[in-house]
Structure 1
Amino acid sequence: MNHPVRAPGEGLRADRVSLGIGGRLVLDGVTLATRPGETVGLLGPNGSGKSTLLRLLAGVLAPSAGAVTLDGRPLDRVGRRAVARRVATVQQQAHTQTELTVREVVALGRIPHRRSWTPMTPADLEAVARALERTGLADRADQSWHTLSGGERQRAQIARALAQEPGELLLDEPTNHLDIQYQLDLMELVTGLPVTTVIALHDLNLAAMYCDRLVVLREGRAVAGGTPSEVLTSELIGEVYGVPAEVTPGADGPVVRFLRRGAVPPGRADRS
């Protein structure tokens, strides 16, 4: 994938960020620099720091060391409202007790662009309509959000994020609890968007198929980074996840096949 040239320091970047919570170092000196239009996958076991890194990138948390910058400026100097206009987030699962239509959920994405209690402008309405169309929800716009399936709810959350008209999109395990068809549909949608995306994933094969680059976290540290073919090896999977795996080339990137405990990946058996 070809990306526009961007000056050094531009875009969303975490530079050697660390964060301690409850006396424990959750992130330790992690660096992540995005390139325009690419999809970066965050991998690692539960508790490795993926969600925390996303919250730092979104400005929800502040690092205890290091800095998160947007176009070279620290997020706290950019301002929360300006960051909200530029950086959109999608959580694992969204819940609301309020009875909202799909259109109303998507319209929440326009809040950073509007003054409090002001009505939607024609530009707001157009942004919402575009987001609904892009996510295939235009025909569900007046339907209750609560009646949607899990995959449709995730698409509605992505539509809300798109209505913000962001340059960067952060997603935290968006495919969790979805059927395989919805997982693939969601990843096709996300990677086809004209934004820079950072996405935390558990599924290594989805990451290999859809991400331009991967960053692997373990116990709060970045232990590997690069293209899926460079990062996803049986050795790394064994070290980070503690499971044996066979990795073979595929048409859409490396293919990971997990092996039963005690099994030796073929490559290692050949060297023994």
Structure 2
Amino acid sequence: MSSQAPVSEGGRLRADAVVRRIGDRIVLDGVTLAPHPGETVGLLGPNGSGKSTLLRLLAGVLGPTAGTVTLDGDPLPGVGRRAVARRVAVVQQNSHTQTEMTVRDVVALGRIPHRRAWSPATTGDRHAVDTALGRTGLTDRSEQSWHTLSGGERQRVQIARALAQEPSELLLDEPTNHLDIQYQLDLLELVTGLPVTTVIALHDLNLAAMYCDRLVVLRDGRAVAEGTPGQVLTPELIGEVYGVRADVTLDGDRPVVRFLRRRDTALRP
């Protein structure tokens, strides 16, 4: 399990039997996701399986065609976008800006849901930004230009921006894509140590096994498996969902996946 600080039982974001259609195509088909407070839930599945769409529904950016997304039992439209933004923070795969901004400027964007339009930053806002910078190890980079940072450092800034929102739920869409292994591990160590409920879409099965408390596997818009990494990541499931052969061993209670080359699988009885 991830080593997280205690989380309030108040934060409950869930999707119940959500469907999302685009024209005649069903992108999500009856998916239910109910993270426990403080839990890190990994979303797995091939490209096009519906991971990003599910995260957008949870964030309230998209509305379901059928089913409901609720926060503390209230449907998101009734909660209101600003109230949702105070509670639910989102980190996308890549973030870009043409505007010249410092690291502190970017992190301070996380305070927007807590302020009225055009109102100056409060002492509470500045404290939240300082705390987020400290938690992500960016205090000494706070006045550095965003554009001078590496990809891993920019992702860390986006985590800090999300933390400045002081959310109870954190949604991340494949945040380790295009990062070196060191930065992938550093980022996931940071995320899974935060006192929030986290839903994170990942491609790397071994990273999901290392850092997630529970996994939900999507294929063609449907949830085909859910459980602990040890329960979900089996050779049978990997073959069914990803179309590849794999050996799975256990490191303690965590599975380790080794993919087999095509020629190796042809030699196996």
TM-score, normalised relative to structure 2: 0.95
Task: Note the 1:122-271 alignment, pairs <5 A.
Answer: 122-251=123-252, 253-261=254-262, 263-264=264-265
CA–CA separation in structure 2 for the residues paired with 1:130 and 1:6: 22
Deviation track 1:128-162 (CA, whole Å, cap 9, x = no partner) reads 00000000000000000000000000000000000
CA–CA separation in structure 2 for the residues paired with 1:6 and 1:142: 36
Q: Unpaired segments of 5 or more residues in structure 2?
A: none
Letter in 2 for 1:67: T
CA–CA separation in structure 2 for the residues paired with 1:56 and 1:114: 24
Q: Which residue of 2 aligns with 1:96?
A: 97
Q: Which residue of 1 aligns with 2:114?
A: 113
Q: Unpaired segments of 5 or more residues in structure 1?
A: none
Task: Note the 1:63-78 alignment, pairs <5 A.
Answer: 63-78=64-79
CA–CA separation in structure 1 for the residues paired with 2:88 and 2:79: 12
Deviation track 1:104-136 (CA, whole Å, cap 9, x = no partner) reads 000000000000111100000000000000000
Q: Which has the higher contact order (CA 8 A, sep 6+)?
A: 2
**Equivalenced residues, count:** 266
What secondary structure is seen at the aligned counterpart in 1 of 2:251? coil
Percent sequence identity is: 77
CA–CA separation in structure 2 for the residues paired with 1:36 and 1:125: 27
The answer to whether the 8 Å contact 1:86/1:167 transfers is yes
CA pair 116-265 structure 1, distance change in 2 beyond 3 A: farther
The answer to whether the 8 Å contact 2:41/2:213 transfers is yes
Deviation track 1:65-100 (CA, whole Å, cap 9, x = no partner) reads 000000000000100000000000000000000000
Q: Which residue of 2 aligns with 1:33?
A: 34
Letter in 2 for 1:78: V
What secondary structure is seen at the aligned counterpart in 2 of 1:37? coil
What secondary structure is seen at the aligned counterpart in 2 of 1:82? helix
Q: Which residue of 2 aligns with 1:42?
A: 43
Deviation track 1:180-223 (CA, whole Å, cap 9, x = no partner) reads 00000000000000000000000000000000000000000000
The answer to whether the 8 Å contact 2:230/2:253 transfers is no
Letter in 2 for 1:84: A
TM-score, normalised relative to structure 1: 0.94
The CA RMSD over aligned residues, in Å, is 1.8
The answer to whether the 8 Å contact 1:15/1:30 transfers is yes
The answer to whether the 8 Å contact 1:245/1:265 transfers is no
Which runs of structure 1 show a deviation greater than 4 angstroms over 4 or more consecutive aligned residues?
Answer: 1-7
Deviation track 1:24-48 (CA, whole Å, cap 9, x = no partner) reads 1000000000101010000000000
> How far apart are residue 262 of structure 1 and its match?
5.0
Deviation track 1:204-260 (CA, whole Å, cap 9, x = no partner) reads 000000000000000000000000000000000000000000000014610000001
Letter in 2 for 1:33: A
